[in-house]
Amino acid sequence: MMSGTSLDGTDIACCEFREEQGKYHFDVLHAETIAYDHSWKTKLQELPHVSAINLIYEHREYGRYLGFLAKQMALKYQFQPQLLASHGHTIFHQPENNITFQLGDGNALAIAAGFPVIADFRTRDILFGGQGAPLVPVGDQLLFHEYSMCINIGGFSNCSYEKGNRRIAFDICPANMALNYFAEKAGQEFDKDGKIAKKGRVHEQLLNDLNDLEFYQKQPPKSLGREWFETHYLKVFDQYDISTHDQLRTATEHCAMQIARAIEQVESGKILISGGGAKSKFLVERIRTLSQNKIIIPDETIIDYKEALVFAFLGLLRWENKINCYASVTGASRNSSCGNIFCP
């Protein structure tokens, strides 16, 4: 189960894994996205600013809600899972302050669903001095090894790749979080196919200022959160009085440029792009124009549910007490098996 920063809803994937001769194989048997109703979407947007007691209350309630969704999914497809892996919904992510918090209490979730649950995947890595993110690269390496780089374009875009027998990964830039933000200003929930952005013009100075943000000069490991988006990224836009169409066009170009820059880390090979941003024809077109590598857009199931699939896999690795978080990716002092186990 996966809930991204773009607040589209909860992705649920029922997955099966096999290990044969040291290699993992997978099947996504069933997958759905349960959209947030207005109440939950509003709550998730406001929770970073509520009182501690309200946050604790909603942590339990959201856990129960996820458990209900999981139970309904299992009943609908007559699917009896060995375990349930839940990423939860990120409310705070401040690795520089040793803080990360994903909403969705594991105990409440396990009791409501009736299955063993793996949750709270990021805290252990942060306690080992890491960023607690990104976590998907383990899945990229073991499930999608035929690609030179895997890129996910969700609320933020991120990438992972092999370099010198080490897995390297990092958050690239704001993606759907930014594009949806400006699309809503234009009266749309999101910019379907990038049509609104295509009507705008790139504001060159704004684009330059975005590209000059300190985060882009840092070497990985590095990660982004909602706080950085609000206090750094959006403040650059506030300095310019331009139309929403031009804001969206410039945000799209910035995203494409930063993704193309990340792709330069690998000399050749296929680049897998997944996540909601892979459906933006205009964004993908701009990435293809700015990059020399072969860009692969997979089938819709992988586009929509790759992160849910990978978190199911991370849950399985944790259940078997195998490494599911790489220090080379997060900057932690050691590799670890992350996630807490909760029994119904």
Q: How far is CA 11 from CA 6, 41, 276, 304, 342, in A?
A: 12, 14, 12, 8, 20
pLDDT band at 332 (very low <50, low <70, confident <90, very high): very high
Strands 270-274 and 149-153: parallel
Position 5 confidence tier, pLDDT thresholds 50, 70, 90: confident
Q: Three-class SS of residue 149?
A: strand
Tell me the per-residue pLDDT of 41-94, one tens digit each, with 9 for 90 and over.
Answer: 999 999 999 999 999 999 999 999 999 999 999 999 999 999 999 999 999 999
- pLDDT at residue number 170: 93
Pick the CATH number of 137-302 from 3.40.50.2300, 1.10.3720.10, 3.30.420.40, 3.40.50.460: 3.30.420.40
Its pTM stands at 0.88
Give CA separation, 176 vs 143, 154, 191, 276, 277, in Å.
25, 6, 9, 7, 6
Residues contacting 134, CB < 8 A, separation 6+: 158, 160, 169, 170, 171, 223, 329, 330
HSE on the CB side for 255, CA within 13 Å? Answer: 31
Cβ–Cβ under 8 Å, residues 149 and 161: yes
Class level of CATH domain 2-133+307-342: alpha beta
Residue 6, pLDDT > 90, answer: no
Q: What is the pLDDT of residues 185-244, one digit of tens each?
A: 999 989 999 999 999 999 999 999 999 999 999 999 898 988 999 999 999 999 999 999
* Domain(s) of CATH 3.30.420.40: residues in the chain: 2-133+307-342, 137-302
3-class SS at 336? strand
> What would the mean pLDDT of 242-254 be, rounded to a whole number?
98
pLDDT digits (tens, 9 = 90+) for 147-192: 999 999 999 999 999 998 899 999 999 999 999 999 999 999 899 9
Q: From 318, 274, 275, select the one nearest 123 (Cα to Cα).
A: 318
